[in-house]
Chains A and B, each alone.
Chain A
């Protein structure tokens, strides 16, 4: 080796004060980690929400008047405690020309003391054996099939519900609290949605078993492609004591809820980045001040102001790139944990991965962090570049 590159000199300069360089790296790494996780959440959440909505099979839900947030939750996650609407609303809805299909639904939840270690809730969704399978064409059976008749004492288990209850096709299942036995006729494949944890029964059976004759908790509507959804929605509001929740509404409602949390996290990320930037500026500036004499020597051996600027700038870029890479790896490694934590913080979390980190995101973050590094490095590099050789050599600062 008969020459040492500017990059090698910059890199080795950073090794001089290892603790300081490592602490700066940690600062940048944490900022990058927040950035990657945040953007990963941003795209993961929206993708999962869209997938959940696609898997619903219907674009609109008619429910009894109540809280719109609860309605959104019911639509996506299932739930109970809502008001009921009368079954004859189904007929009123179905006769509208914009409607391609309707399916009545009746959700009930009971506490099962034998579930898990300290008991748990079991969700039962009463569905219409004729219309529900058509609208939810995406559902695939692992074994068995749908109910044999509209009022059969039969159940179809979602993938996780079957695992949890350890039921297979042909087994019987006792509905907790009601002491009614139903036969398992089908087990669904995993969907990654709330359907996995649901036990489906014919809605007539649910009405009978739970004593809610002639009542429903919702009506799923598939609207014709050419239909004017806004106009149809208006028509639905003409029905007494109902509210209409469209997918667009649900998405907007949820995204606005999540958006509030996101603004907060974005603010934290911006602050983290600013702190990291200040850390970089401080580290490099201190390093420049400590090496004044050395910079003077470099200038005496022929380094120009631009050479010194590049040297110091390179140090900043190395720190930022390395910090960015560490933060990205950290974000990849902790995506699952972040997923769990975020899920607990959100009012509604769709099923599936909430944090989606891909190569494009990692590269974008590295780009952002490097840009921040380049900007942070300008001032210290400029200060270093304009040092006069003699002033630098004569300075009393010890290197």
Chain B
């Protein structure tokens, strides 16, 4: 019998402490949890509960202060030591896709150019063939030549999703992806994330304060004062 696959993400007693003068602010305070491959997990909590800090640490955008972080069994951080910036960049480009509350599309590039922008820096083999399928899947194919300024908020977020997925990441991290959208568009994005998880088998970690959106996930983790409740 083969050994079980390691979790996509494993956090052990993870802490991220910020300093403001002499004061220490633990934004993430001893969080331990794991996310299996192909899971859809929502992290909810009030403002200032540490959701964004946690997802940034999980996504290797920020280093924890202490604890351990493993991705697919590979140690990223442990005992106060992190991988080099170059190694972290490799992990960011190969493992993760990020979606943020602000869409961060480049205003002078059209939809297609924004979507394929990650290829400028790194392209997974065969990823180029996915572009058309993604544009169709996200229903932005007819807008491929439009500039971001000509799109609605929902469309812009779908472009950001396509950009996050174009290099076929193993894990999609979405930080308040509906924060700038109305209810209807928020539901659309929620359904989309669920579809991507169910149909494509993508591991999704969603940070939101929108409980209705969070319920799309298989598992909801509640964070309060930097700790899992």
Contacts and interface: CB of A to CB of B under 8 A. Distances in A.
Interface of A: 1-6, 8-9, 12-13, 15-16, 293-294, 297-305, 307, 389-390, 393, 399
A301 B92 CA distance: 7
Given A299-B89, A302-B122, A302-B167, A294 B117 contact: no
Identify whether the interface residues of B are mostly helix, strand, loop, or mixed. helix
B61 interface: yes
A394 to B, nearest CB: 9
Contacts of B3: none
Contacts of B90: 302
B102 A16 contact: no
Contacts of B89: 299, 302-304
A1 B112 contact: yes
A9 B109 contact: yes
Contacts of B100: 297, 393
A393 B60 CA distance: 13
B108 A13 contact: yes
Identify whether the interface residues of A are mostly helix, strand, loop, or mixed. helix
Nearest to B96: A300
Contact of A293 (B98, B102, B118): B102
B52 to A, nearest CB: 9
Greatest chain B CB density within 10 A among A6, A16, A294, A301 is at A301
A312 B114 CA distance: 18
B66 interface: no
B120 interface: yes
Interface in B30-76: 56, 59, 61-62
A299 B107 CA distance: 18
A5 B123 CA distance: 12
Interface string B83-116: 0011001101110101010101011110011001
B122 A15 contact: no
Given A300-B98, A304-B89, A393-B100, A3 B123 contact: yes
B131 A2 contact: yes
B163 interface: yes
B108 A300 contact: no
Contact of A16 (B61, B98, B108, B121): B108
A4 B92 contact: no
Given A302-B89, A304-B89, A389-B61, A12 B118 contact: no
